[in-house]
Amino acid sequence: MNTKLKARSILKLLNKAYGRPKPFRRSEPTDELVRTVLSQNTNDRNSLAAFAVLKKNFQDWDALLKTNTHQIARLIKHAGLADIKAKRIRAALKEIKRREGRISLRRLKSLSIENSLGYLRSLNGVGPKTAACVLLFSFGRPVMPVDTHIFRVAKRLGLIDKKIDIEEAQEVLTDFTLRRGRLRRPSPEKTMNLIYEFHLGIIEHGRRTCKAHNLLCGTCVLYDLCRFKDKGHYKRTTR
Ligand code: SF4
């Protein structure tokens, strides 16, 4: 099967299995940055709870900068790795303020995707996934954020080489997803939605079916497209 057809089939099957994600709503860029740092190595429930606590306790991010790291860590303990995350959030926001004169990432609007990624990656504690999340969810730029679920599932499906790193995977998977869209010359909005749906669909698949251990190949909707099938514990019994 060629790449274009494979991309189209995967997206269609994921949407059918898990439902189409809720419509895309852009988030405020610095909020997205903070939320994504909080989401590192924990689940959505814990990271969103920690984000809500920060929003409740600080009128704005300037107020957070006036608070010491230890106090911030206490507030975000739900999210785990609280000391590290508090340090990263504080350092990133402080650096943005130093560069921009205020805590705002609006300037990224006028930069290319490469320069925007470079800007975000140069902030202390901001990795490729966080940078990509800010660009996709806040600016609607076509960049695929790759988390551990997407990295694992994409390797098993043979969409990325086993040896590439997360940064390279972001590029390959963005290109892979957009091939599906080139069928009908999509608008920027449609392009962004393709990335968004693929991102959420693969994460859901990684959480529910193509798990790190005990993967459920026997009930997998992507079985026929997968190179890794049946290497887990469960084989499909009826074909
Ligand atoms: S067939 Fe198995 S390894 Fe392949 S995507 Fe499905 S669950 Fe993952």
Domain boundaries, the chain: 3-23+145-225, 29-139
User: Where is 75: in which H helix or E strand?
Assistant: helix 69-75
* Span from the CA of 25 to the centroid of ligand 1 (angstroms): 30
Reported as a pLDDT band with limits 50, 70 and 90, residue 238 is: very low
% of the chain at pLDDT higher than 70: 92
- Identify the pLDDT of residue 183: 47
- Tell me which residue of 130, 118, 100 sits closest to 39, measured CA to CA: 130
* Span from the CA of 205 to the centroid of ligand 1 (angstroms): 9
Q: Which residues of 209-237 are buried (b: 16+ CB within 10 A; e: fewer)?
A: bbeeeebebbebbbeebbebbeebeeeee
Ligand 1 proximity of 210 Cβ (cutoff 6 Å)? yes
Average pLDDT, the chain: 89
* Span from the CA of 9 to the centroid of ligand 1 (angstroms): 15
- Tell me which residue of 227, 204, 207 sits closest to 156, measured CA to CA: 227
% of the chain at pLDDT higher than 90: 68
pLDDT higher than 50, residue 31: yes
- Identify the pLDDT of residue 227: 84
Q: For 76-119, write each residue's pLDDT tens digit.
A: 998 899 999 999 999 999 999 999 999 999 999 999 999 999 99
Active site residues per annotation: 129
- Identify the pLDDT of residue 216: 92
For tokens 């000391």, name the residue.
83
Ligand 1 proximity of 154 Cβ (cutoff 6 Å)? no
3-23+145-225: CATH topology is: Endonuclease Iii, domain 2 (1.10.1670)
> What atom of ligand 1 comes closest to residue 228's alpha carbon?
3
The residue ranking higher by pLDDT, 152 or 230, is: 152
Separation of CA 7 from chain center: 18
* Average pLDDT, integer, range 169-178: 87
Ligand 1 proximity of 90 Cβ (cutoff 6 Å)? no
Cα gap 217→209, rounded to integer Å = 7
Rg (CA), the chain: 19
pTM, rounded to two decimals:
0.87
* Average pLDDT, integer, range 146-156: 93
* CATH of segment(s) 29-139: 1.10.340.30
* Average pLDDT, integer, range 61-88: 95
Reported as a pLDDT band with limits 50, 70 and 90, residue 22 is: confident
The token pair at 66 is: 């006036």
Cα gap 163→3, rounded to integer Å = 20
Ligand 1 proximity of 169 Cβ (cutoff 6 Å)? no
